[in-house]
Amino acid sequence: MPLILTFARSFDLTIKFLAGLALTSLTLAVLLGVISRAANDPVVWTDEASRILMIWVAAFGWVLATRGHAHIRIRFFHDLLPPLAWGITEIFINAAIVLFGLLLIVYGIALVQRNIDVEATSLPLSMAWLYLPLLVGGAAALTQALADCVTVVARLRAKQHPRGEPAA
């Protein structure tokens, strides 16, 4: 198995594990908050922890959906195009995703830097943890879109349908 595929598989498994860990932690934090409020002795940090964990769960879900090509995409008109036009359109779509990923990374870095020394209200955490998922999601989107561009170009060069379907 090529090294890049081994790395991709390890990356996917790591993200799935972290997503599960974040989701479990989120569930426990919310449950603790509900139970402590019902007992009239609220644990103050559960709301803030839940907010941060929810952002991380969403970011991990975004990465997993990006890696699995599971995002909603309306392809009706795109799929009506002949293979060459389909491939060129796909490259432009992925180029836009690369640009979006780059913007998320650039502005995400700025947000992390601005908030690195700001401490959360009820947790001993930097508020930068709230913005760090922008970097994770942006890097995943950018990397996957670049890989998809390379795949489409390789298929076009090999005179295959850019979607990987048999040529008509």
Whole-angstrom distance, CA of residue 104 vs CA of residue 145: 14
pLDDT in tens, 79-88: 889 989 999 9
Domain boundaries, the chain: 3-157
How do residues 41-79 score in pLDDT, each as one tens digit?
A: 999 999 999 999 999 999 999 999 988 888 777 888 888
3-class secondary-structure state, position 126: strand
Instruction: Render pLDDT for 122-154 as a digit per residue (tens, 0 to 9).
Output: 999 999 999 999 999 999 999 999 999 998 998
Tokens of 135: 């970097």
Local confidence band at 168 (pLDDT 50, 70, 90 cut-offs): low
φ and ψ at residue 128, rounded to 5 degrees: -60, -30
Quote the pTM value.
0.84
CB 54 within 8 A of CB 33: no
